[in-house]
Chain A
Amino acid sequence: MTSVQAPVNPFGVGVRGMRAGAMLVPMPEEDVQPADTVAARLQLLLERVASGDQQAFSALYDAVAPRIFGLVKRLLVDHAQSEEVTQEVFLEIWQTAPRFDANRGAAMSWILTMAHRRAVDRVRAAQSSRDRDTRVGIRDYAHEYDTVSETIEIRIENERVQQAMERLTDLQRQAVSLAYYGGYSHSEVAQLLSIPIGTVKTRLRDGMIRLRDELGVTQ
């Protein structure tokens, strides 16, 4: 019942040693590079950043800043705060790059993980729950992942994520969307969906495992 398809998997996220999955779509030059190349380049840049190379940091910034800023702004909405958090994320990349270990995961995943955590911390610290309820109605979240994207790479990834999301139950999908794209804690998710917190924990785990399998993410 779980069909593991060959992932497009930009940036090689979820793939060790930079071996990305089969490419489904031929990528135009410049705009979109093969995942192998992008993941390898990011890892190389991060290794150079780890040795204090400021030019490499500049190149790494150019490569990933729009994604970081896009994700952070999705959670925070506020432009100025999104800038601040993006800045924090990149300072943290600079400072902790010497401790990045490619054997444990892809560079892009490492970076996005830091960015999401910082955005979530900021959204919870900065805004009361009332503000946040106003900011985005819960109804928006059911299809929050279904958004028009501007690059082919993101569009493909978006489609794959959307397809995978559709394999989830409604409750799993809502819970995962509220947590990831809304930055809500599991107890907030429980309140918003009027279900017990234990159920939310289970839904989040089951939903993420299902997504993992659908997207072909492996260690």
Chain B
Amino acid sequence: MSERDDDLTGAYALDALTPEERSAFERRLAASESLRTEVGELTDTAARLGLAVPAEAPPASLKAGLMAQIAQTPQLPAQEAPSPAATPAEAKAQARWFRRPAVALAAAAAAVALVIGGGVLANITARSGVQQEQADQLAALNAAADVQHISTGVEGGGNATLVYSVQLATSAVILDGVAELPADRTYELWYIDDAGARPAGLMDVDATASNWRVLDGEFSADDVVGVTVEPAGGSEQPTTDPIVVLGPEASALPALEQAEVVQVAESPAPVPTPTEIVPPPAAPKAPEPPAQPGSQIPAEAGGVVSAQAQVHEVTEEVPELTDPVESLLRPITDAVRDLLRP
């Protein structure tokens, strides 16, 4: 390490380097513990300069928009994942905070680009009852204890992300930078299992934004999700090859090895979060315990099912899940609602 290299610690901590100088310096940082220590101290010193600046409250609309955005924005996995390019700010944070700084400098966040690069999230700006329902579903999905994300490139350009929860039997697809289609064509989503493809909804795409849709129908762990181009109005069965296929099973398919499964909600936090209060998911089709009063009533009534018992049966399909999740999500859904209000 030459004297000249050391000279840049101050400029780096103050963000006074050009992007090229920055990258070069970060490579040196990765190789020198003592340099990292000095940069860490000087970065903290710079933060003290920041703390001395008078605070100013941003407008309330900023928070409302953010809460809606994070509800549908995947988080990075705690461990390093190979991805194309870090944001500059993240790269600087990685230089110090991330657990594997040497690798982290070149590492990245497709998910960051997904939203920040996309700018406006197209579906959020739409104002309709359907969009409201979709936004609520997506918020619930993102808050599920077992939510996972899979991202991969799309044939013809762009990226696709599948967000899914086996517990909620729900999934959503986010398409970012994917080509817009002519008016007589539409993207159609499919649940695909051994039995074939089930239509799961249509999706219009704004190429300048991130686009998302919660899929119709129920997601199960055996499903993969495919996206095809279909005639306007959609098809009963796919008429073209999928531009992308995503799912927990997709990694078993040779053509889809690049899809990377990212476990988001697995980290055991030291403090229980509201989501952890939710009991672990029972298998979706698991038989109910015999002691459940609701399920006992029909048998005892000799096939005559009371309306009350039916209600019990329906609610017990997702036992004790609805209320905690809903209460957890209320601030989010309210924020989304505020945002969607014309």
Contact B75 A98 (CB under 8 A): yes
Q: How far is the CA of A120 from the CA of B51 in the complex (A)?
A: 16
Tell me which residues across on chain B come within 8 A of A58, comparing CB atoms: 63, 67, 331
Contact B269 A154 (CB under 8 A): no
Q: Number of A residues contacting the other chain (C-beta, 8 Å)?
A: 99
Contact A205 B58 (CB under 8 A): no
Q: Number of B residues contacting the other chain (C-beta, 8 Å)?
A: 79
Mark out the residues of chain A between 29 and 59 whose CB falls within 8 Å of any chain B CB in the assembled complex: 44, 47-48, 50-58
Tell me which residues across on chain A come within 8 A of B265, comparing CB atoms: 51-52
How far is the CB of A37 from the nearest CB of chain B, in Å?
A: 16
Q: Which residue of A lies closest to B273 (CB)?
A: A53
Q: A179-B15, A180-B49, A186-B17 are in contact. Are A105 and B54 (CB under 8 A)?
A: no
Let me know if A5 is at the binding interface, CB within 8 A: no
Task: Map CB proximity to B onto A194-219 as digits: 1 under 8 Å, 0 otherwise.
Answer: 00001011111111110110010111
How far is the CB of A75 from the nearest CB of chain B, in Å?
A: 9
Contact A121 B10 (CB under 8 A): no
Contact B15 A52 (CB under 8 A): no
Tell me which residues across on chain B come within 8 A of A162, comparing CB atoms: 52
Partner pick for A201 among B11, B49, B70, B274, CB 8 A cutoff: B11
Contact A186 B16 (CB under 8 A): yes
B91-99, B125-133, B185-193, B297-305: which lies at the interface: B91-99
Let me know if A118 is at the binding interface, CB within 8 A: yes
Q: A14-B47, A70-B56, A181-B49 are in contact. Are A91 and B69 (CB under 8 A)?
A: yes
B108-116, B151-159, B214-222, B249-257: which lies at the interface: B108-116
Task: Map CB proximity to A onto B240-283 as digits: 1 under 8 Å, 0 otherwise.
Answer: 00000000000000000000000011010111011100000000
User: Interface majority SS on B: helix, strand, loop or mixed?
Assistant: helix
Contact A219 B41 (CB under 8 A): yes
What are 15 A-B contacts with C-beta separation under 8 Å?
A52-B143, A82-B58, A83-B58, A95-B112, A105-B44, A112-B50, A157-B51, A158-B52, A161-B51, A179-B15, A183-B15, A187-B18, A201-B11, A205-B11, A217-B45
Which residues of B are at the interface with A, using a C-beta cutoff of 8 A? 6-11, 13-18, 37, 40-59, 62-63, 65-67, 69-71, 73-78, 87-90, 92-94, 96-99, 109, 111-112, 115-116, 142-143, 147, 264-265, 267, 269-271, 273-275, 328-329, 331-332
Given A113-B93, A209-B10, 11 other A-B residues pairs in contact with their CB atoms under 8 A: A13-B51, A14-B41, A90-B66, A91-B116, A98-B76, A101-B99, A150-B55, A162-B52, A200-B11, A208-B45, A217-B48
Which residues of A are at the interface with B, using a C-beta cutoff of 8 A? 9-11, 13-14, 44, 47-48, 50-58, 61-62, 65-71, 73-74, 82-83, 86-92, 94-101, 104-106, 108-110, 112-118, 120-121, 145, 147-151, 154, 157-158, 160-162, 176, 179-181, 183-187, 189, 198, 200-209, 211-212, 215, 217-219
